Every structure is written in C-alpha cells, then in structure tokens.
Amino acid sequence: MTKEALAELSTQELVKKHTAVKTMVWLLAIVLTGCLLFFIYMSLQDGFTPLLAVPLALSAIIPLNVKNMNAFKKELDSRL
C-alpha cells in the first residue's frame, strides 16, 4: 500500500489490517514449513520429487508480507 493510502485509514482499520497481515504471515510460514518437511519426507521415501520447489517458490511471498506488515506498524507508531 502507498503511504497516502495508509494515511487515509483510521487507527482501528490499521490495527485490524496489521493483525490480519501478521496472522497470515505466520500461517503461511507454518504451512510452507509443513509442506517442505512433508515433501522432504516423501523424497526420502520415494526418491527426489520436484514438489520440493513449491514451498521454496512460495516462500518469496513472506518477505513481501513482512514489508507490508512493517508499513502498517510504522504508520501506527507515527500516530501514537
């Protein structure tokens, strides 16, 4: 989100969005870790599987969401 769009949101909306993004980041990290461990286990059982690339590729989403979460946090801190 742009700085202007964050400035237009109320404090309650910012808190709600920050909490939602934080929850989604943690859930995504847990799910991707579980998938990675499962695909590693499957690779050990049946041999190499290209599915190992899926959690690694999707993990690129996490830093983007963390950056977004930090933008919400910075805007909240500037208001308090």
pLDDT, residue 8, reads: 87
- In the predicted model, residues of the chain with pLDDT beneath 50 are none
Check residue 3 and give its pLDDT: 66
Distance, CA of 70 to CA of 78 (rounded, Å): 12
How many distinct structural domains can be found in the chain? 1
Residue 2 lies inside a defined structural domain of this protein: no
- Report yes or no on 5 lying in a domain: no
Q: Is residue 3 assigned to a domain?
A: no
- 1 found inside a domain: no
Residue 63 belongs to domain spanning: 11-79
Which is nearest to 1 in space by CA: 16, 14, 19?
14
Domain assignment present for 59: yes
Contacts of 30 (CB under 8 A, 6+ apart): none
SS3 for 30?
helix
Query: How much is the pTM?
Result: 0.82
